[in-house]
Structure 1
Amino acid sequence: MDFTKPRGTRDFLIEDMKERKYVENTIRKTVESYGFNEIKTPIFEDLELFTTKSGDAIKEEIYHFQDKGGRDLALRPELTASVSRLYDNNLQKSAKPLKMYYFGSCFRYERPQAGRFRQFWQFGVEVIGGTPVYNEAEIIAMANETLKRLKIQNYEVAIGHLGIIKGVLNHLDIPSDKQTQIIASIDKQDYDLLDEILTTCNVNDEYKNIITSIINVNGSHDDLNSIRDLLLDIPESMEALEQLNEILTVVEAFGFDDYTVKLSIARGLDYYTGVVFEIYVPELGAQKQITGGGTYKLTSLFDSEDVESTGFAFGFDRIMEAFHKQKLEVEEDNYNKVLVVPIKKEFKMEAIKVAQLLRNADIITDIDLKGKKLKKNLSFANSNNINNVVLIGAQEVEDGTVTLKHMDSKEQVTIPRDELVDNILNE
């Protein structure tokens, strides 16, 4: 019987994993350089965790089931809710800010298409507590630096602040359910629907024009001034505008100013409260957004303290798509790698001993235990970025030596076995 992988999933071969590990490790090194530490949550959680966050309608989009004890569980469709649950269970009394990152697979039951799979990966970061303005600026600067280190080209960073538009809606006493519909229509760029909802809420033309002016801001830091006079009588919106202005100033202090101020970013989720941002790679077409995030209050879903969080998640698979689309290459590491070759099969035991000597010194080492011809072993070493080949024959076994061939220089020397590690490490 033939078995194939489930629909919407993928197999990753050796070369695929080299690329994915390179990208993953580059992101890890970047976020760790900013003081973030890794956490890990379960692949499945209580179903109620996700319905509480996103409503019962999400059941149609996720994998959920009952276990043998009759408990309703779900494979996680994203990781933000799990991180908030982890905080509620374990970290409420920890010193703030908490700077955490996570990497793992998520699952959604949706129609597979280009750039969308039923099993996919997210790499996310969260800052809980601390000073929001500096958290937000650091998060945005860090996302930008990550893409620079990966050498992703032609990406666009758009930054907004939901507090500006929400301030207007609160000023007009628009009910929360209608605000949700308004934000969703802005997120979908359905401006006919937006006008219809505003009309239903008895919003007059003056305030319609203010809302339109806000969501039309799509330019530089200085373009915030174009709406300042419109918001003078709306204190909540003015406060959000000044906060965004401060955030952008701090972002620029991190050395990043190549962004767009885009106040139509809405993210479409109720829990976002402040700054929001998205990053696009236009070459990816309909799936161009590779990350998005902002500031939110999700811990209030639980009985924990009401504390703001700032975070984002890279769509890891979309980053990989950009990596391939732009024909980027994995940077070869500078690790010492060795292939140990016994010239004849009777020297295999000696080859194993030499290999273990090298491995104990943290030198990546492979052994030819099949008995291939020397030419094929050298070809294998070249194609696998192996720096050195150690040859063991009758004379080497008798003398307690090894013959070391440096693949770059093609030089070959015979040295005492106990000098092999130092010779390779000092190369």
Structure 2
Amino acid sequence: MIQKPRGTRDFFPDELEARRDSEETMRRAVSRWGYREVATPEFENLELFTLRSGEGIIEEMYAFQDKGGRDIALRPELTAPVLRMYVNEAKVLNKPVRWFYFGDCFRYERPQKGRYRQFWQFGIELIGADTSSADAEVIAVGYDLLRSAGVRFELRVGHLAMMKSLIVDLEVDIQKKVRGCLDKRDYGALHEVLPDTGRADQLTALIESKNLDDAFAITGAIPEEERIRETFAILDAHEVPYIQNFGIARGLDYYTGCVFEAFAENLGAENQIMGGGGYRLAHLFGGEDTPSCGFAIGFDRVMVSRGEESPRRPVTVAVVATPEGRIDSIRVASAFRKAGVRTITDLLGKSLSAQLSQAAKHADYVAVIGKREVEEGMITLRDLSTGEQKQLTIEDAVAGVVGIGVS
């Protein structure tokens, strides 16, 4: 028996329908903000990713040479491909450009709970706007998406200028060690990296600050202060609940300004479900230096966080028939399908009782066509949830079921 590749999954209909339901909910939510969907190839030139992250990332990727000797990689994320697409084909569009994406990505890493070698990302990129309003909108969209998807989460918002102002004069290697300590909230290690106890205490106090006034009392005046205050004020106007966190340290070499993360309440250790911020990538791919802001949501974690919540699914009608009604049953099924109703019929020549038993496992309604129904030009429509049944014309039966819509 040939098994599926390690780190991948098969999805049965119930699970896939739940995923499609969440996906569509998130698409509708992001569309309300004016973002439109784009799609990029599942494989790109390897250089697209090494330019951003360095050669070391190759060990974590599905990278290979194609038959023409070109270095290719399955995409490990979607921000770089979307910015490559912008530089290649969309630089002349009016700014800002509002795009969203949904797609599968691939990373060669050890599979574990919540981590797969093939996984899905949902995200947005706001390209060409360098304002506090743009930063706040992206954060608000991320909040709206997760809330719409039914995720319970905590949103943390910060700005890298605060931390950078306290470590900018340190050697690069020391800065990296400091960021590692802050990311892990390992204050003991932080004091070992920074013999200057005063500086370590400042960084600790910044992370633990509860409001902007306390944070700026620690950093002193910095050029970005007005923009930071504006961003938080606009977030408040959007009525987005968040926790101030100026200790977000991951991606400091990548992000350039605002940063934010969301953590789901019920995912255990692997609970980060969204991450994003302001960045500048376009110039790496041959474009102009263009301000951008965006985020990525781990869609697989959204599904785990939602748990066993049942998706809305289309109402299903099973058309069953005696031998006398089989030909008429085809026309009845066709009428339901033309009206957009999911409809199933017997293909194995089962008895009426066997058909009814099978229908009870898969359908919400049963349309029965027997000898009497054929003679009278009617059908018997049974609601399987209540047991109630009525003899109706095909038109009335279809109209009744269409009015139900979803279950």
Q: TM-score, normalised by structure 2?
A: 0.89
1:364 aligns with 2:348: no
Mapped pair 1:186 → 2:182: yes
Q: Which amino acid aligns with 1:18?
A: E
Superposed CA offset, 1:188-228 (max 9, x none): 445566556666xxxx66555544432333x4xxx221132
Mapped contact 2:140–2:238 kept (Cα < 8 A):
yes
The 5-angstrom pairing of residues 4-403 of structure 1 reads 4-130=3-129, 132-153=131-152, 155-170=153-168, 172=169, 179=175, 182-189=178-185, 207=199, 209-217=201-209, 219=210, 223-232=211-220, 234-236=221-223, 239=224, 241-257=225-241, 259-324=242-307, 328-333=308-313, 335-344=314-323, 347-384=325-362, 386-403=363-380
TM-fit CA distance, 1:75? 0.7
Secondary structure class of the residue paired with 1:268: coil
Query: Any conservation in 1 of the 2:321–2:370 contact (CA below 8 Å)?
Result: yes
For residue 332 of structure 1, what is the amino acid of its counterpart? R
Deviation by residue 1:401-425 (Cα, 9 ceiling, x = unmatched) = 3232233453433333355433433
Provide closer, same or farther for how the CA distance between residues 311 and 407 of structure 1 changes in structure 2, counting only shifts above 3 A. Answer: same
Task: Quote the Cα distance in structure 1 between the aligned partners of 2:353 and 2:229.
Answer: 65
* Cα 1:331–1:379 shift into 2, 3 Å: farther
Letter of the 2:276 partner, please give it. Answer: G
% identity of equivalent residues: 42
1:6 deviates by 1.3
Distance 1:414 1:230, change over 3 A: closer
SS in 1 for 2:116: coil
The answer (yes or no) to whether the contact 1:297–1:309 under 8 Å persists in 2 is yes
Alignment CA distance shift 1:191-1:392 (3 Å): same
Distance (whole Å) between structure 2 residues aligned to residue 424 and residue 159 of structure 1: 47
Q: Could you tell me which residue of structure 1 aligns to residue 382 of structure 2? A: 405
Distance 2:205 2:135 in 1: 24
SS for the counterpart of 1:340 is strand
Q: Is the 8 A contact 1:348 1:369 kept in 2?
A: no
Offset, 1:68: 0.5
One-letter amino acid of the counterpart of residue 392, structure 2: I
Distance 2:248 2:357 in 1: 53
Q: CA RMSD in A?
A: 2.7
Q: 1:184 to 1:273 in 2, by over 3 A?
A: farther
After superposition, the C-alpha distances for 1:238-261 in whole angstroms (9 at most, x for unaligned) are x2x33232222222222222x211
Aligned length: 404
Going from structure 1 to structure 2, the CA distance change for 1:331 and 1:305 (only over 3 Å counts) comes to: same
- The question of whether the paired residues in 1 share the 8 Å contact of 2:21 and 2:312 is answered with no
Q: 8 Å contact 1:342–1:371 — kept in the other structure?
A: no
The alpha carbon displacement at 1:393 in A equals 2.0
Alpha-carbon distance in 1 for matches of 2:258, 2:385: 51
SS in 2 for 1:287: coil
Long gaps (5+) in structure 1: none
- The answer (yes or no) to whether the contact 1:132–1:310 under 8 Å persists in 2 is no
Counterpart CA distance in 2 for 1:261 and 1:371 is: 65
Q: In structure 2, what is the Cα distance between the partners aligned to 1:180 and 1:310?
A: 23
By how many angstroms is 1:302 displaced?
Answer: 1.8
1 CA distance for matches of 2:351 and 2:137?
55
Compute the displacement of 1:73 (Å): 0.1
Residue-by-residue CA offset, 1:43-102 (whole Å, 9 max, x unaligned): 110000010010000011111001111110001111111111111111111122222111
Secondary structure of the residue aligned to 1:264 is coil
Letter in 1 for 2:150: K
Letter in 2 for 1:388: Y
Other structure's SS at 2:329 match: helix
Structure 2 vs 1, CA of residues 10 and 408 (structure 1 numbering), >3 Å: closer, same or farther?
closer
Distance 1:286 1:152 in 2: 16
Q: Deviations over 1:288-326 (max 9, x none)?
A: 1111111111112122122221111111122222222xx
Distance in 2 of aligned mates of 1:415 and 1:229: 76
Q: Distance in 2 between matches of 1:248 and 1:260?
A: 11
